[in-house]
Chains A and B, each alone.
Chain A
Amino acid sequence: MKLNLRIWRQKSKDSEGQFETYEADGLTPDMSFLEMLDVVNDRLTKEGKEPVAFEHDCREGICGSCAMAINGEPHGPNQGATTCQVYLRSFQDGETLTVEPWRARAFPVIKDLVADRSGFDSIIQAGGFVSVNTGQAPDANAIPIGKEVAEQAFDAAHCIGCGACVAACRNGSAMLFVAAKVSHLGLLPQGQPERAERVRKMVAAMDAAGFGNCSNQYACEAVCPKEISADWIGRMNRDYAVSAAKKV
């Protein structure tokens, strides 16, 4: 199997980038997209050229590192899958693919396909802590949590912070990410004492990091590899209003 690749190459944060064309040959349909990039990089290294920089870690769809847009779609064409879980059988033999880093002001490109996602870290840091007693680990099930609530909190906690929501959004908005993080703690009893403060601080950090604002088009939800629902954004909007009302 053969693919034609147009890959974004950029030396550093401040340098101008451009597309370079590569032909990837000797591929099999069962290779993952990242394995295909490994093949390309092996060849580049042997030729004494700079390999394409891209982030990867677990390669099993749970770490959120493999951030890149394939043909303008974050994580490529498949529903509910990270780039590492996209296999070459999703493409036609001989197809041309354009591979780009995340595009958003809050995610500046550092090198090739790698964008700086530390804007997300500043939001998580702003969220602060949950109140947990020190001392010995508490007994399991010491705090009763209903199945329904546990499931909902887990749905929100699925977010792996990959940034595909920001990358897909026309406005570079991080509201799906922030909503998932605000909600998974806000649903659980351990997250209640700081709930109002948490949503206020995380939204303030989100605004300060230069992300845009949700205009209710839900491209985020469509590309999210963990299929986080945009309904969480609604819940965050409500939580935020309650938080403001408590200040009055």
Chain B
Amino acid sequence: MSTQITSMIQSSIGRKWIVAITGILMIGFIFVHMTGNLQMFAGTPDKINLYAHLLHSYPLVLWGFRLGLIAVTGLHIWGTLSLARENRRAKPVDYAVAGRKSRLKVTWTSVTMVISGTVILGFVVFHLLHFTAQVVDKSYASMETAVGGVAMHDVYRMVIKGFSNPWISGFYLIAMALLFSHLKHGAASVFQTFGLRDRQLVQVIQAGAWILALALFVGFSSIPVGVMLGWIRP
């Protein structure tokens, strides 16, 4: 009986469910991550520094969460890449004349999911090395501040210094644009995988995915843009 469950999970539809569920979990994470980051606009460095200090106060919870996220990301990548590999194999020859894109519903975002996902993954690795492991700029580790007499890491100053580099801000903005593209298709696709798509709801689902993707793009991008334009000051 258990082998049947395993083969169902590994089937085409089983993997689509895994991709959709892990996709939702990652959307949930980045949404919370963004709202946390927006504390950069609080007008005082204390707010985001206290928030970061709080997150690091429970190492067990923090590491449990991080390992969970790594597992979720790994499953998402395994599911998508294995499905994409099969898809390429299933269509070895294209038509000599391509049909009309408008009729065959070819959209730029939907055909570049693997590319956008791969660049976003590359960005995440860099982002972790940059702000979490702090190996890109070693000076971040020694940035200390004190709020109410409690010594803590100065995240506020670290972010400003990080985004003062136009190359880093540029890469960040490109990655966020690709995240928008990835989620515009991905968030709408979740509804189909869960069997919740309905002809009457298609427009609503697509509009909802577009708004969610745009909100995340604007929210995340506002921070490097804010630093570069001087809205966020040291």
Contact = CB atoms under 8 A, between A and B. Distances in A.
B7 to A, nearest CB: 7
Nearest to A170: B91
A105 B13 CA distance: 19
A172 B91 contact: yes
Given A71-B99, A203-B13, A210 B90 contact: yes
Contacts of A193: none
Interface in B1-49: 1, 4-5, 7-9, 11-17
Interface string B78-107: 000001001101111111111110011111
Nearest to B100: A73
A191 B185 CA distance: 34
A140 interface: no
A219 B105 contact: yes
A223 interface: yes
B222 interface: no
A136 interface: no
Contacts of A234: 191-198
A217 interface: yes
A217 B107 contact: yes
B128 to A, nearest CB: 28
A243 B91 CA distance: 29
Interface residues of B, number: 48
B99 A244 contact: no
Given A69-B95, A213-B16, A171 B87 contact: yes
A54 to B, nearest CB: 16
Contacts of A169: 91
Contacts of B94: 103
B110 A231 contact: no
A19 B93 CA distance: 14
A106 B90 CA distance: 7
Interface string B168-197: 000000000000000001001101111111
Interface residues of A, number: 54
Contacts of B193: 216, 234, 237
Give the interface SS of chain A, mostly helix, strand, loop or mixed.
mixed
A238 B194 contact: yes
Contact of B195 (A215, A216, A235): A235
B75 interface: no
B90 A105 contact: yes
Nearest to A229: B199
A210 B217 CA distance: 38
Nearest to B13: A240
B113 interface: yes
B197 A231 contact: yes
A84 interface: no
B90 A104 contact: yes
B62 interface: no
B204 interface: no
Contact of B12 (A71, A203, A218): A203
Interface of A: 6, 8, 19, 69, 71-73, 77, 98, 100, 103-106, 168-173, 175, 200, 203-204, 206-207, 210-219, 222-223, 229-231, 233-241, 243-244, 247-248
Closest 10 CB pairs of A and B: A238-B195, A212-B90, A172-B90, A171-B87, A72-B99, A73-B99, A72-B95, A234-B195, A212-B87, A216-B189
